[in-house]
Each structure stands twice: as C-alpha cells, then as structure tokens.
Structure 1
Amino acid sequence: MIPTAPLILMIDDQPEELRQLADLLRKDYRLTSADSGHGGLQRAQALQPALILLDLNLPDMDGLATCGLLKADPLTAQIPVIFLSADNSPERRVQGLTHGGVDYIGKPFMPDEVQARVRVHLHLQQRLRQAEQGLQTANAATPRNPNELLMQGAVQYIRDNLAQLPSVADVARKIGLSEKRLLALFREQLGLTVSGFISDERVRTGQRLLGDTAMSIHDIASTVGFQNAGNFATAFRERFGVTPLAYRQTARDAATPNP
C-alpha cells in the first residue's frame, strides 16, 4: 500500500468483521474505521475518505440513517457508500440503494466480490472527479458575476451551519460583506430576506431528512436549527400543509410497492 492510496472508511461494530475487511483491503488501500454511526459521520467529515463501507446494524442508529446523514451533508454527500449486511433480502437491498448507497454486499461476503466492487466504485468516483475538475477549469476561463459568487458563498455557509447559525451580521462578516450589503444581495438575487431564506432552507432540509433518513423528528428539528420539535412541526405545517409525521408516513407509503 502506497501513501497516496485511496482512503476507505469502514463503519461496523463487529471487531471480527472489521478485521476481515482490513486484512482484505490493507494491501491496496489506506484504511480507517468506526464502530458506530455517529463515529462514522465524524470520521467521514474529518477525513474525507474516497469510499465508505457501511454496515446496516449499528448500535446507535442504523446504516440507512447514517447514509442519509452522509448524503445530507455537503462535506460528505459525494462519497460513495457501499452497504454490507447479513440481511440480503431484496427489500433491504432496495432500501439501501434508495437511501443513497451505490452498492450492496451481503454477508458473509466473498473477498473477490468486495475487492471488485470497491475497485469499480473507486474508479467511477475518480472519473467523476476528473470530469468535475475539467468543468471547473472551463468555467474558470469564463468571467463570473461577483454577486453570484458572493451569493453562492453565503448560501453554502448558511446550509453548512443550519443547526447553530450565527446572526445575520456574523454571516455577512464571514463572507466579507456588511450586513446591509448582504441583505441587499439576497433581495437582488433571490427576492428574499436573509432570515426568510434561512427559515425556508431549514424547513426544506427537514423535509429531505424526513424522507431520506430514519432520524427522529426531534433530532431533525435540532439538526436544522429549531429549538424544539414543536416549533419545527409548526413551521413545517405552515410551509407544506401537513405535519412532519404525516409527511413521513405518506412518503413511506408512496415508496412501498403495492402487493
């Protein structure tokens, strides 16, 4: 294994299975591991691995919820996730893929299959990044509207800090503007106040988490910056006309195929 080899994050709470994966992959890849969903999220955010191998059954939250949170975070959304699970039923495989996984491997796994699937998805990810870099290089040759760049920076900063967002003045300082200029920028570019955009972004992010993860409504409310689940439910109902619980149930029913 060379120092520049791709880094793979293995998330599994079974030491023996982690050891088997490590023995299988350490020759060709750099490896790191976590034994819980929250630990995996933290490692993924900090280390930015090239690929994640994720067990479904974890002690704190299941792999589906973990994957949903990975895909909801801009820092980790592009990292390919391969599920590994002893539950190899068609229903479970479909769940894994619809929650953002790029592949699903049943346990006990075949070493050749794991190596082949890891190799394929790392290759696909490398090609995707090369294409994105080529596009960025092409775009760099085209003059960009400074207001658009400032707007993108402000929106990204808000999205990255929904849970504990600082004041509008602090957001402005973070991207190098006065508060007055930031307010004018949002009115010009979006036709919204900054606070109006933040409120809408919190509810829309909550909607995505309701549909894509198994997080509790209380945890979703906290993740998107509401003080409690009641405030989130009120804002959600005003925006979409239904409660978060009713929305989640409807989304689940729609995703369940008719017998």
Structure 2
Amino acid sequence: MFRCIQFAHPRRCMRALILALLALAVALTATAALPTGVYAQAGEEAGALRHGQPANTTVYVVQRGDTLSAIARRNQTTVAALLALNPQIRNPNRLYVGQRIWIPVAAPQPPADFTRSKIFLIALEDGGASGKPIGCGDSVVPVTVEIAPTRAILRGSLEKLLGLHDAYYGESGLYNALYQSQLSIADVRIENRVAIISLTGQLVQGGVCDTPRIQAQLEQIARQFSTVDRVVIYINGSLFPGRN
C-alpha cells in the first residue's frame, strides 16, 4: 500500500503516486507486447526437428498463403496426419512463412500439370538432427519441389537444383552450397543401377566444407530413385570430388 506519511506536502505525495502508477502501466504494456506465441512456436519447431526425421517423410517449407488444409490436400493427406507428424504446431490455423514441417512422402500421383520430386539442401551445423549426416557437423535434407512434367525426372530435379542461386532456400534456413556456381547438365544417365551425372560450367565453393555439401546434394537427388545404387559425378570432365 502506498503511504504519504514520508511527504510533508500533500502535492508531493500526489505527484509521487502518479509517477508510480505511470511506471507500473509502462511495465505492464511492455510485457504484454512481447510476441511470446511466436517465440514459443519457433522454439517448439526447432525442438521437433532436433528429434530427427520421422520415417517416410520429407521436409516442406511453408510458403506465403499456405494453410495446413491446403498443404494436406496437395500432398494427398489429412490435417490430422500432419498434426500427428508435427506436434510443434499448436494452432493449425497459424503457420508462418519459412516454417519447416514434415509431410508424408507416400503421396499419390500429383496433377498432370507438374511432377513432384525432391531436391536436397543442407542444414548447417545441426549435428545430423534434420537429415543424413555428411560431415562438418551438417546434414543433407530432402525438400519436395514441383518440376515440369517429364519422364526424365532425374534430369528435371537436377535442373531445379542448379537453377537455385540464393544461398538459402526461402526462409527455411536450409543452405544451397551450389548457389554461386553456374553449372549445366552435359549428360545424365543410369546404367546398371549407376547414375552418371556430367556437368559443365563454373563450380564455385565457399570453403572446404562445401565439397561434401555439393557432393551430397547431387548424389542424394539420384539416390532418391529406386533404380540407383551408386552415383558418379563429373564436372568439366573431371571426377568430383576426385575419387569414386
């Protein structure tokens, strides 16, 4: 309780009371303004991803305008199934751009105007929590993408990856080690369950850790297909990264 006994003049007592009330109001307003829901949701998402990738899933990066029901419909699944795979989603009506969620990969055929495939990007220094460990403390992570209809899905998937020239994929935080390179496909074929990928152009690497990252991104695109057991990569006629 506020007392005015220590003040000899009533006006000074009133002024002190008003100042105390103003300070309390400012403190309460600042506390209410903190976006705790957003921080909590981001923290729960990071925790869920650290638990490792559920079986038969891939990563989907939420785009502007996405809703959980629309994502479920496009991937021939249900909102309930997505919520079961993503316990970090507390409110199914609130997603944010760049959010990473798990979706089932065993989806039926997509509409005829596009083909669904996967490219592979890098989760930096996550200790293998988000995908397959590849060294330098990183992991390689599958991301579902849509490409033009084609029977040459491996070529189309490679073209999709080589056409990305931003260091990070949207707002997902996933890194593309090929973003500075200018590479095109000279040849790609599968012989005796070996995928042979021949690229030409300029390869730019940002450091020694980009070598295993690039290798993993290219290899895993081919290894997603059941007809491939091994991958051989050539860049400008030389074996990459210099050994089988």
Q: TM-score, normalised by structure 1?
A: 0.26
Q: Of the two, which has the highest radius of gyration?
A: 2
Relative to total residues, which structure has the larger strand share, 1 or 2? Answer: 2
